[in-house]
Structure 1
Amino acid sequence: NMVPLRVVTAYLHVFMHSRRHAKGLVYVERTKPLEQYTTEELYVRFRFGKADIEYLVNLLRPKLQHRTQRSHGLSVEDQILIALRFYACGTFYEVVGDYMGVVKSAVCDVVKDVSIALASLVNEFVSFPKDNQIAQAKRSFFLLGNMPNTIGAIDCTHVHIQAPRENEWEFINRKGRHSINVQLVCDADLIITNCVVKWPGSVHDARILRESALYRDLQTNRPDGVILGDSAYPLLPWLMTPFLTANTPAQARFNTAHCRARCAIERLNGVLKRRFACLNYLRAEPQKACNITLACIVLHNIATKHFLDQSDPNPTKKF
């Protein structure tokens, strides 16, 4: 009573074909976060509330609406939510896709497209203080640490990435990890006023500053105020560093005030990576990592300015 081999083969063929056909018909319902979650829940999951997300949708619509075919037919709102979820949690694309109800390849495309769109707006949302903004910056820094005439604080932070395929050795930083070394300048309210996002992790902070447009501009047009930096930076007419050894009470007082005011940039680095956990480690090639970092910088300023405009006494409390 043996079943002929050709019958078994035919049965398996029909079975596997039906499985493939059924699999193709599987429909994963996409989530609707703006309908499902409260404002607080949206902040936890996406770092923005409903009104803020709608603002981002309108802001990026001209840059994203023509990419629907590339992004698997996703609406601009869907693209923004997928990217925000990735920035907020920094996990694998597949995990974000499962959460949002889309395939892994769609998440990859969306993160790339949204990051490029946001990065293109960096000059619109990141600007060094001018005119009346300078006076406000000085007041804020003086209240922060009794440091007069201060308009900014500067430091670098490393965004860790996977080992790149080209020039891998250039990206190894002093701690032996691959990274992008990101230069940031901020004000006392933790708003980023200047950024340089392009250098491998092996490059020293002082060189990044020396070869930046900010350095050339401030060397030529000395600002009405000073920037505070740590001992990794050179002492310049517009860049104040602490005394390496405080030999007098006056020098000790200066170092204390300098430290209290300069802590703004250290707080910023912490807030930025808590707000956008993806910046703790990016599984991406250097150029894509730079675009994602720029996108997070733009989003950080949008979020921080929004909270300040609402007179929030603690604009980072949700993060």
Structure 2
Amino acid sequence: MAGIVHIFYAGRRGYRQRVHTERPKPLQQYTTEELYNRFRFGLDYINYIAGLVRPQLQCRTLRSHALTVEEQFLIALRFYACGTFYEVIADSMGVHRTTVGEVVTAVSDALARLLDHFVTFPTDGQIAKVKQNFFLLGDMPNTIGVIDCTHVNIQAPRQREWEYVNRKGRHSINVQLVGDADLAITNCVVRWPGSVHDARIFRESRLFTEFQTNRPDGVILADSAYPLLPWVMTPFPTANTPSQMRYNNAYGRTRCAIERLNGVLKRRFACLSESGTPRSMPNNTGLYCATQYRCPSQSPPL
């Protein structure tokens, strides 16, 4: 009887059986080179990182045609690599636009939890090697890092919007990065609106507090926006002597590592670049989670 009633009412309501479309399988369809071109990682790295985030992304059941961890990770990587609209990512990955937004947020949050495991400042046993690499790069002795800030554009937040307008008139997050000669990020601060000056971000950072108390075995190279400290070296505004000219030349050749780091990072992950991010990244996107950024209502007071 219940079945007859169900058929009767289903017919009146125009009931249609739910159909799940066949999703693409990039890991089986593409070679390692093709995967890198589309997702910025090869097969081995995709499997490795997917294994790291599996505890946070694994669905308990396969009900409603649930996404696997690999599928979720590939959707997020596709957005990181393209930085385009969610609708475009959804069409290429065989899912709905809202699913892309949810997956990007979840994957970004899972990756943010791994930040401290991979972004670490050189230890005492590693500093000698870091100094050697910097010296080979630009003849600058005793260098353990290079520092600079870069802006990651966002859409205008709903709260305290004016705080995120940078000097170019765009809404952004001002990201501080410290890197080594191999373009590896050794420290990052991602919590300040775009209007905040680089020097203040540095002064308020945990790195500054720690190194002011315990001076490191080496120096960090910074541009003229940063203060000159016993462990922070800046260039001479005007080189008046041959020794000052030699210093500025070695400084420029060495510090260019952080410029290349910012360029490679934004080129590899287009969602961070200036061209696509403001138009394609909605408010509260997973990029905030990926960089451990606090939502606009909790941003640091100016």
Q: Same fold (TM over 0.5)?
A: yes
Give how far 1:289 is off. Answer: 3.4
Partner residue, 2:6: none
Give how far 1:284 is off. Answer: 3.2
**Partner letter of residue 118 of structure 1?**
L
In the alignment, the residues of structure 2 paired with residue 49 and residue 212 of structure 1 have an alpha-carbon distance, to the nearest angstrom, of: 34
In the alignment, the residues of structure 2 paired with residue 293 and residue 275 of structure 1 have an alpha-carbon distance, to the nearest angstrom, of: 16
Give how far 1:57 is off. Answer: 1.4
In the alignment, the residues of structure 2 paired with residue 286 and residue 106 of structure 1 have an alpha-carbon distance, to the nearest angstrom, of: 15
Q: Could you tell me which of 94, 98, 114 is aligned with 1:101?
A: 94
In the alignment, the residues of structure 2 paired with residue 72 and residue 171 of structure 1 have an alpha-carbon distance, to the nearest angstrom, of: 40
Q: Could you tell me which of 135, 145, 157 is aligned with 2:138?
A: 145
Partner residue, 2:8: none
Task: Name the CA shift for 1:70/1:108 in 2 (closer, same or farther; >3 Å).
Answer: farther
Is this contact kept in 1: 2:143–2:221, CA < 8 A? Answer: yes
Give how far 1:28 is off. Answer: 2.3
Partner residue, 2:182: 189
Task: Name the CA shift for 1:164/1:69 in 2 (closer, same or farther; >3 Å).
Answer: farther
Q: Which runs of 4+ in 1 moved over 4 A?
A: 15-18, 66-72
**Partner letter of residue 45 of structure 1?**
R
Per-residue deviation, residues 51-93 of structure 1 (Å, max 9, x unmatched): 1111011111111114778997111111111111111111111
- Taking structure 2 as the reference length, what is the TM-score of the superposition? 0.87
Query: Any gaps of 5 or more consecutive residues in structure 2?
Result: 1-10, 294-302
Does residue 284 of structure 2 align to residue 290 of structure 1? no
Q: Could you tell me which of 121, 126, 144 is aligned with 1:128?
A: 121
State the Cα RMSD in Å: 2.3
Task: Name the CA shift for 1:28/1:71 in 2 (closer, same or farther; >3 Å).
Answer: closer
Is this contact kept in 1: 2:80–2:269, CA < 8 A? Answer: yes
Q: Could you tell me which of 187, 198, 201 is aligned with 2:194?
A: 201
In the alignment, the residues of structure 1 paired with residue 73 and residue 253 of structure 2 have an alpha-carbon distance, to the nearest angstrom, of: 37
**Partner letter of residue 233 of structure 2?**
M
Task: Name the CA shift for 1:160/1:69 in 2 (closer, same or farther; >3 Å).
Answer: farther
In the alignment, the residues of structure 2 paired with residue 71 and residue 247 of structure 1 have an alpha-carbon distance, to the nearest angstrom, of: 71
Is this contact kept in 1: 2:139–2:250, CA < 8 A? Answer: yes
Equivalences for residues 44-83 of structure 1 within 5 A: 44-66=37-59, 73-83=66-76
Is this contact kept in 2: 1:141–1:148, CA < 8 A? Answer: yes
Give how far 1:29 is off. Answer: 1.4
Per-residue deviation, residues 175-231 of structure 1 (Å, max 9, x unmatched): 000000000000000000000001000000000000000000010110000000000
In the alignment, the residues of structure 2 paired with residue 97 and residue 286 of structure 1 have an alpha-carbon distance, to the nearest angstrom, of: 18
Per-residue deviation, residues 86-139 of structure 1 (Å, max 9, x unmatched): 111111111111101011111111000000000111111100011121001100
In the alignment, the residues of structure 1 paired with residue 287 and residue 60 of structure 2 have an alpha-carbon distance, to the nearest angstrom, of: 21
Equivalences for residues 274-313 of structure 1 within 5 A: 274-280=267-273, 281-282=277-278, 283-285=281-283, 288-293=286-291
In the alignment, the residues of structure 2 paired with residue 212 and residue 241 of structure 1 have an alpha-carbon distance, to the nearest angstrom, of: 18
Task: Name the CA shift for 1:83/1:68 in 2 (closer, same or farther; >3 Å).
Answer: farther
For 1:165, what is the secondary structure of its paired residue?
coil
Does residue 237 of structure 2 align to residue 244 of structure 1? yes
Is this contact kept in 2: 1:161–1:178, CA < 8 A? Answer: yes
Give how far 1:285 is off. Answer: 2.8
Query: Any gaps of 5 or more consecutive residues in structure 1?
Result: 1-14, 296-319
Is this contact kept in 1: 2:104–2:286, CA < 8 A? Answer: no
Partner residue, 1:175: 168
- Taking structure 1 as the reference length, what is the TM-score of the superposition? 0.83
For 1:193, what is the secondary structure of its paired residue?
strand
For 2:66, what is the secondary structure of its paired residue?
coil
Task: Name the CA shift for 1:135/1:25 in 2 (closer, same or farther; >3 Å).
Answer: same
In the alignment, the residues of structure 1 paired with residue 228 and residue 172 of structure 2 have an alpha-carbon distance, to the nearest angstrom, of: 27
Give how far 1:26 is off. Answer: 4.6
Is this contact kept in 1: 2:59–2:68, CA < 8 A? Answer: no
Task: Name the CA shift for 1:28/1:286 in 2 (closer, same or farther; >3 Å).
Answer: closer
In the alignment, the residues of structure 2 paired with residue 115 and residue 70 of structure 1 have an alpha-carbon distance, to the nearest angstrom, of: 23
Give how far 1:294 is off. Answer: 5.5
Does residue 103 of structure 2 align to residue 110 of structure 1? yes
Does residue 221 of structure 2 align to residue 234 of structure 1? no
Is this contact kept in 2: 1:70–1:109, CA < 8 A? Answer: no
Per-residue deviation, residues 217-263 of structure 1 (Å, max 9, x unmatched): 01011000000000000001110000011111110110110011000
Give how far 1:33 is off. Answer: 0.4
Task: Name the CA shift for 1:253/1:70 in 2 (closer, same or farther; >3 Å).
Answer: farther
Report the number of matched residues: 279
